[in-house]
Structures are given as C-alpha cells and as structure tokens.
Amino acid sequence: MFTGIVEFRAEVAELRPEPPGVRLVVRVPAYRGEVKIGDSIAINGCCLTVVRTEGDLIGFDAGEETLSRTNLGRLQPGSLVNLERSLRVGDRLGGHFVTGHIDGVGHLDRRADDADWSTFWFRVPSALTRQMASKGSVAVDGVSLTLVDVEAERFSIALIPHTLAVTTLGPLQVGDPVNLETDVLAKYVQQQLAGDREAGSAFLS
C-alpha cells in the first residue's frame, strides 16, 4: 500500500531484456542502504518488487503484462520515474490509499500553464471516469491528486509548483502517456451498486 506522495524523481540507469520481461534498474542515491531485496516500491505508481541492490542502483523485474498495460514499457535509459516506498504501519497518510495496481493508461490531452501553476486535462477510457468524482482522488504516475472536473472521457487536475518541480508530471507534453489508478473506495462502491442493480433485476423478474 502507498500514499501517492512521491519521495524521489529518479533516473532509469538500465533496461536489460530478460524475456519475456525486462530488468529495470533505477539509480537512487538517497535509497542507498535503505532498501532490501523483497521490498515493494512504486515506479510511476506501479508496485514492483526489489530483486537486486548494488550501491545506489536498485533492480526490478517487470513482466510482459506490466510492460504492455502501463507506461513502463516506454521507458529508456535516462527516463525519469516517480518513486515511493510502501507505506509502513504508523506512517502519516499524506495523500490517499494507493494500491500500486494500475487501472489503465491515460494521455495528456491539454496543458494550461499559468505562471508556476498548471491545469492538466487527461483523456482516459470511460470505464475509469465512472470511478471518479470532482474533489475525489486519483493517482497519476503514482502522484496523489485531487480531481477538479470529470467528463465522460476526460478529467482535469490542478498542479502546484512543488508537484511540477519534483515529479515527472512537470515535463509532460500533450500526448504523453500516464499510469492511472482510481480511488480504491470508488471501486468498492461501483461494485456494490452493480450488485444491487443485479439483485433488483432478479427480484423484478
């Protein structure tokens, strides 16, 4: 479990093919001696397991499913990624509960910059916007954000200067893909409502 509060923006050091997946190696000097094999770390919001540590390098195995269903498949050496270690019992929850399981990929549809602030619109599958509501939460590339407006196939967020400066969202350009995870509570509510509708239909028939 994560909070969506990014700890570091780090650089991909290596992507080594290990069919059917890849070994993803990230350089994180600040994590030196702080992580061990088996730890869970969110990379752009996607929960991966540490499989190797060497100095300031941390290695992860990313499978074919992960590469095809997230933006991790587009990474190259030198790419920047958002990192967050898993939540520990007793930690402060600064964002919202984030599982690290990506629901889908969206694309930056429009960017409106106003001095150091920005408003982003992302185009997404309608199945995801049904799990969103204005003033609710969403994780974009692992960053916990508050939804401003939600349309059938788009949503907007307002980004403060700090978020733009310390995460991968700042350099985003129109068309760039992002990993999305909707609020886990919204998923349960949607599932419950679907069950109630099915039960009602069965009763009426």
Tens-digit pLDDT profile for residues 143-191:
999 999 999 999 999 999 999 999 999 999 999 999 999 998 777 777 7
Is the separation of the CB atoms in 105 and 69 below 8 Å? yes
pLDDT at 95: 85
Instruction: Give me the pLDDT at residue 200, please.
Output: 55
Residues 6+ apart with CB under 8 A from 65: none
Return the percentage of the chain with pLDDT > 70, whole number. 94
CA distance 173 to 105: 15
What does the pLDDT read at residue 169?
A: 98
For position 195, what pLDDT does the model report?
58
With cut-offs at 50, 70 and 90, classify the pLDDT of residue 83. very high
pTM for the whole thing? 0.91
Q: Report the alpha-carbon distance of residue 92 to residue 140 in Å, rounded.
A: 20
Task: In whole angstroms, give the CA distance from residue 190 to residue 205.
Answer: 23
Q: How would you label 154-178 residue by residue, b for 16+ Cβ within 10 Å and e otherwise?
A: bbbbbbeeebbeebbbeebeeebbb
CATH class of 104-190: mainly beta
Instruction: Note the CATH number of domain 8-85.
Output: 2.40.30.20
> Which among 180, 182, 177 is positioned nearest to 79, based on CA atoms?
177
Domain spans in the chain, listed from the N-terminal domain onward: 8-85, 104-190
**What is the structure's pLDDT at 85?**
96
- Could you identify the residue written with the tokens 């094999």? 37
Closest listed residue to residue 57, CA positions, set 75, 93, 31, 22: 31
Task: Calculate what percentage of the chain has a pLDDT beyond 90.
Answer: 82
Is residue 198 classed as helix, strand or coil in its secondary structure?
Answer: helix
Q: Mean of the per-residue pLDDT values for the chain? A: 92
Read off the pLDDT of residues 84-117 as tens digits, 9 standing for 90 and up. Answer: 999 887 787 888 989 999 999 999 999 999 999 9
Rg of the chain, C-alpha, whole Å: 18
pLDDT of residue 100: 96
- Partner residues linked to 111 by β-bridges: 120
Q: What is residue 199's predicted lDDT score, i.e. its pLDDT?
A: 53
pLDDT of 144 reads 97
Residue 52 confidence (pLDDT): 97
Alpha helix (H) ranges present in 40-159?
64-69, 126-129
Whether the predicted pLDDT of 20 surpasses 80: yes
Q: Does 104-190 match 8-85 at the fold level?
A: yes
Q: What's the confidence (pLDDT) of residue 189?
A: 74
What's the start-to-end Cα distance of the chain, in Å? 42
Q: Is the pLDDT of residue 197 over 70?
A: no
Q: What is the DSSP letter of 46?
A: E
Degrees, nearest 5: CA angle 189-192-194: 110
